[in-house]
Structure 1
Amino acid sequence: MSAEDAVKALLAGIEAQNMRVVAHINGQANAAKMGKEVPADQILEVFRPDFAIRVWSACKPAGHDIPLRIHVYEEGDEVKIACRMPTEVFAPFESSDLDEIGKELDVLFDAILNTTTGE
């Protein structure tokens, strides 16, 4: 799967899970605007307002770590997808409410990421 196809699959998965793309950073396109050519490198920032409100209520400092990111990039001939899962992102805050939100979001992010593997 190409990086572009992976991003398309992820965008469809984000929509299917009723999440929102807060920002889509296309490093390759931005480099091209400067006349530079780089391998594919895109970041999807993903979240949803109702989850944001819950995160802020559970632990205001955790607001710094949302939206969550999915990174699609080329390394050699391989397309790679990286994502720190919500429970991992929220764990340092040691909040049981935040842990529960993370578990809910893990299910959604698993489904989103699986759109690139056909699972």
Structure 2
Amino acid sequence: MIRFEVSLSADEAAEKLIAAIAAYPMGLVAHADGQANCAKKGIEVPADQILEVFRPDYAVKVWAAEKAAGIDIPLRIHLYEAGGRTWVAHRPATEVFKPYVNPQLDVLGGELDAIFNQLLATLDPWKLP
């Protein structure tokens, strides 16, 4: 799991990531804003957002390599507040696909990790590994 603190609000981090996702180009499959959804029910919670990110051509490659791995896509980026700080978490594709013990997924995971590293690098102070 990649987890790091940013000096942005969760909303600011989401905006930067959404712009980076569009520019890459990847696809923003879903954007769930838990804080906003709870507020609609009168419940106050700290910021908590999930960005689900993928692209159709990669989905087809994953399905071709291991149909059962479809449960693990799209990949997610979690933005949240804890302890008065904003955090970003992401499980790399190589980690997500590891249980399948599939060389084709290993290759795809490496490609996707490189893409997600570039997306996450748009958020200072995180740097590419």
Please give the range of the TM-score, normalised by the shorter of the 2 chains.
over 0.9
Kindly report structure 1 stretches of 4+ aligned residues shifted beyond 3 Å: none
Establish whether residue 14 from structure 1 lines up as the match of residue 21 from structure 2: yes
Structure 1: runs of 5+ lacking an equivalent: none
Q: Name which structure has the greater RCO, CA cutoff 8 Å, separation 6+.
A: 2
TM superposition score normalised by structure 2: 0.89
Structure 2: runs of 5+ lacking an equivalent: 1-7
Task: Report the structure, 1 or 2, having the larger helix content.
Answer: 1
Instruction: Please tell me the root mean square deviation across aligned C-alpha atoms, in Å.
Output: 1.0
Q: What is aligned with 2:119?
A: 112
Aligned with 2:94 (options 87, 93, 110): 87
TM superposition score normalised by structure 1: 0.96
- Using the TM superposition, give the Cα deviation of residue 74 of structure 1 relative to its aligned residue in structure 2, in angstroms: 0.1
Letter in 2 for 1:102: G
Q: Distance in 1 between matches of 2:59 and 2:124?
A: 28
- Using the TM superposition, give the Cα deviation of residue 16 of structure 1 relative to its aligned residue in structure 2, in angstroms: 2.1
